[in-house]
Amino acid sequence: MRHPRDIQRPGRKLATRVLHSASSVDRSTGASSIPLYQASTYHHFSLEHPPQYDYARSGNPTRQALEDTIAELEGGVRGFAFASGMAAVSTAFMLLSQGDHILCSEDVYGGTYRLLTTILNRMGITTTFVDMTDLDRLEAARRPNTRAVFVETPSNPNLKITDIAAVAEWAKKHGLLSILDNTFMTPCLQRPIELGIDIVLHSATKFLCGHSDVIAGLAVVANEKLGQQLKHLQNAVGGVLGVQDSWLLMRGMKTLSARMECSERSARQLADWLTRHPAVTRVYYPGLPDHPGRAIHERQSQGHGAMVSFDVGTGARARQVLERVTLPLVAVSLGAVESILSYPAMMSHAAMPREVRLERGIGDGLLRYSVGLEAVEDLIADLEQALDEAR
């Protein structure tokens, strides 16, 4: 009988493809779960015909199934799994060389900001942070040595929207590498390669895994040349994802579509409720009618996502809310089955100096809510008591 993946049926929805992908059935045994190949090295039965796998840093069947799955879901040609989201980001930036210049979204994740400003700058790779919602500003910031543009959309944590197709077209016009962090949306809701982006990155720790039990990063490339280059870097640098984490991540991804649908539905209700609460000065959510860039977001995405940011005015009030909520984890990270409430000023963006944060609109009163799978009525009631007591 033919392997299920060999029967191509065009037009299948992602909710179906996420279950019937490279990680759905083991080719050698038919097992419904890809085995954990817990091996560091592989026997060469013939020196004249080397095996597909020779050393686990270079390749592993369990990790390969995961890499094939994310490539399929994102619409790319090759996927790569790394030990963390930052390992994926760092490896992608290693495509650049000393003297190169990067254009980056101004309110980028704090870990990416730290990498660009404290490590890559020491290696002679410089960065200009730009408001990517304005192509004129992007063009004005371009230099003769600009080699790449790095985008987050929706951005972290203000959920600013960048026109993906417009930036990708602009990058191609100037011969620039385009890289996009798709962690917030996942391929369920946004597929940047289909819009012209060269490399898509994920902190797979978040929505793709979905269970707060794995640290992982993924990358997908749009063409084989980039695939060969990134494969060389992955093997040479060695920050690969382990077998157990690869298996756990594949298991988590099987419920990705259902989790995103439920969390997004609740996030819309939570965001709408927050706009009416007197203790909240501003709400950031792409599904709100007045969210800047909403029309662009809806043109390039299939949903608004499960992330809601809101400002309570001051750092003191933000701390009071964090102390009084009882349902969400007060923690770093996002994208889990349980809701997570984060304080960017001291968590995700702690590496960003306060004056820089404030310039980018990341104030001391800003909170970021990753909506999980709890009943939204309970989440609202819990947040209501916390906000009421913090006023």
CA triple 45-46-52, angle to 5 deg: 75
Catalytic residue among 181, 198, 245, 364: 181
The tokens for 328 are: 């969400």
Q: Catalytic site residue 181?
A: yes
Q: Catalytic site residue 231?
A: no
The tokens for 67 are: 């890499």
Sort residue 301 into left (φ over 0), alpha (ψ -120 to 50) or beta: beta
Catalytic residue among 42, 107, 109, 113: 109
Q: Are the CB atoms for 199 and 178 separated by under 8 Å?
A: yes
CA–CA gap between residue 107 and residue 165 (Å, rounded):
20
CA–CA gap between residue 225 and residue 227 (Å, rounded):
5
CA triple 157-163-167, angle to 5 deg: 110
SS3 sequence of 127-157 = EEEECCCCHHHHHHHCCCCEEEEEEECCCCC
Nearest to 165 by CA among 302, 300, 303: 300
Q: Catalytic site residue 109?
A: yes
Q: Catalytic site residue 68?
A: no
Catalytic residue among 57, 137, 265, 324: 57
The residues that are catalytic are 57, 109, 181, 206
